[in-house]
Structure 1
Amino acid sequence: MHSPAFDKLCEQIARLKHQATQFDQSNLFAKNRYMQAQPSLFDRGVFTTKSMKLADYVSEIEDELKSLPPAEHRHAYQYALERITQQVQAVFNVIKSTPVWAKENKYSFKPKTKPQVYKQAVQKMMQSSHELYDELKQNHEFERRLVLMIEERKLKLDAASAAKAAEINQEILALHARLGRCRKAISATEDKIQQVEKQQLR
C-alpha cells in the first residue's frame, strides 16, 4: 500500500504532464535566443533525458515512478521518491520561469487552463527557500568548475601550436558562453529566493 506522499506525488505528476504538454505546444523556446543555445533543459544530475521538450522529462519521471523499489526497502524507496520529487519541482521551475523569458522576448505564453487554476498549481509546487539554496549552491559549484576549466585551457595556450591554439580558443569561447548561462541561472535563483522569502514574511 502506497503512502499519502506517493499518492500526492502521482497527482502532481498528472498535473505536470498536462501543463508540460501545453508548454511544449507554445513553442516558447523556439522564440528564445538564450534557450536556443541549450543542448538540454536540465543538468545530467537531475535527468538523463536530453531534450528541449518538457513532456520528454515528464516521461522519464513516469518511468522512474514505475520502477520504484518495494516500499519494504524503506531507505531505497524513500531515496527514489525524493529524487522523483526533485525532478517534478525542476520541471515546474521551468514553467514558473516562463513569464521572465516571455517578457525578454516580447512573447506571452498563455496556458489553456484558467489562469487562476494554473497559478494555484504553480504555487502548490513553489520551492522552499531551503531547496532554492541547494539549487544556488549547485549553480555556484558549476560556476567554479567552469572558471577552473577556462583557466586550465588558457595555460595550455602558451605551449600550443597555431592549429591547436585555435581549437583551444574555440573551447574557451564555448566555456565562457556556458559560464554566462550559469551566472544568469544564479541570478534567477537568487531572485526566486527573494520572492519566496518575501512571501514567507507576509
Structure 2
Amino acid sequence: MVNNALDKLHQQLARLSEQAQQFDNAKWFDKNRYIQAQPSLFDRTVFATKSLLLCDYVDEIKAQVKHLPPMEKRHAYSFAVQRIATQIEAIIKVLKSTPVWAKENKASFSKKNKVYRKAVQKIMQSSHELYQELSQNHEFERRLQEMIEIRREKLDKASNAEAQKINQEILALHARLGRCRKAISETEAKIQQVEKQQNR
C-alpha cells in the first residue's frame, strides 16, 4: 500500500516537472522586475533552493522523496512528508499565478492538486497504520508474557489438579504469543520493504 502511494507520488512529480519546464520555457517572470530582483521564488522556510526556475524546486522535492527518513523515525518521517505536501502546493500556486495559465489549466490544476495531496496523505496514513499495528502487537506481546509469568508463579503453589489446568493455560498463551510474534515479524518486514522502496 505504501509502495503504491510512493510510486504514484513519483509519477505525479514527473508530470509536475513537465509542467514546471513548460512554465519556465514560457518565461513568465522575465518582465516582472519585482520577481527578477528576488533571490528566490519561495520563502526559505518552504524551500532551501534559491532560483527563479520552477524546475529547480521540483528537483528539490524529488530529492526529498528519494531520501525520506526511515519510517522508524516517526516524527522526522511525518515532518518530511508534510513538508513535501506544502512544497507541492506552493509550486502549483505559482503555476496557476499567470492569467493565461490559470485560464487554460484551472480545472486541471484543481484536480491535480487533490491528486498530489491524496498521494502524500496515503503515504502518511499507511506509515501511521504500520506503526500503530507494530505498537499494538508489541503491547499484546508484553501482556501475554505477563500473563504467562503470573501463571508460572501460581504453578509453584498449585495442587496437582490446579497445576494441570494452569499448564494448559500456559500452553494456550504460548500459542497466542507465537502468533503475536509472527505478526510482529510480518509488520517489521513490511516496514523494511517500504524503506527499500524509499532508498531506491
Residues 66, 24 of structure 1: alpha-carbon distance in 2 compared, 3 angstrom cutoff? same
Aligned-partner residue type, residue 41 of structure 1: L
Please name the residue that 1:43 is paired with.
43
Once the 2 structures are TM-superposed, how far is the Cα of residue 6 of structure 1 from its aligned partner? 3.4
Any residues of structure 2 matched to 1:1-202 within 5 Å, and which?
2=2, 5-99=5-99, 108=100, 115=104, 118-124=105-111, 125=113
- With normalisation by structure 1, the TM-score equals 0.50
DSSP 3-state at the match of 1:31 = coil
Across the aligned residues of Structure 1 and Structure 2, the Cα RMSD in angstroms comes to 2.8
Aligned-partner Cα distance in 2 for 1:58–1:95: 12
Q: Is the 8 Å Cα contact of residues 41 and 51 (structure 1) preserved in structure 2?
A: yes
Aligned-partner Cα distance in 2 for 1:76–1:110: 35
DSSP 3-state at the match of 1:30 = coil
Question: After TM superposition, which residue ranges in structure 1, 4 or more long, deviate above 6 angstroms?
Answer: none
Q: Is the 8 Å Cα contact of residues 49 and 57 (structure 2) preserved in structure 1?
A: yes
Aligned-partner Cα distance in 2 for 1:53–1:16: 13
Gapped regions of structure 2 (runs ≥ 5): 118-200
Structure with the larger RCO, 1 or 2 (CA within 8 Å, 6+ apart): 2
Once the 2 structures are TM-superposed, how far is the Cα of residue 120 of structure 1 from its aligned partner? 3.8
Please name the residue that 2:178 is paired with.
none
Aligned-partner Cα distance in 2 for 1:37–1:97: 18
Residues 86, 65 of structure 1: alpha-carbon distance in 2 compared, 3 angstrom cutoff? same
Residues 54, 32 of structure 1: alpha-carbon distance in 2 compared, 3 angstrom cutoff? same
Q: Is the 8 Å Cα contact of residues 54 and 91 (structure 1) preserved in structure 2?
A: yes
Residues 90, 55 of structure 1: alpha-carbon distance in 2 compared, 3 angstrom cutoff? same
Q: Is the 8 Å Cα contact of residues 26 and 109 (structure 1) preserved in structure 2?
A: no
- With normalisation by structure 2, the TM-score equals 0.50
Aligned-partner residue type, residue 119 of structure 1: K
Once the 2 structures are TM-superposed, how far is the Cα of residue 98 of structure 1 from its aligned partner? 1.5
Structure 1 vs Structure 2: percent identity of aligned residues?
52
Aligned-partner Cα distance in 1 for 2:43–2:35: 14
Larger Rg: 2
Aligned-partner residue type, residue 50 of structure 1: K
Aligned-partner Cα distance in 1 for 2:107–2:102: 15
Structure showing the higher helix proportion among its residues: 2
Once the 2 structures are TM-superposed, how far is the Cα of residue 12 of structure 1 from its aligned partner? 2.7
Gapped regions of structure 1 (runs ≥ 5): 100-107, 129-202
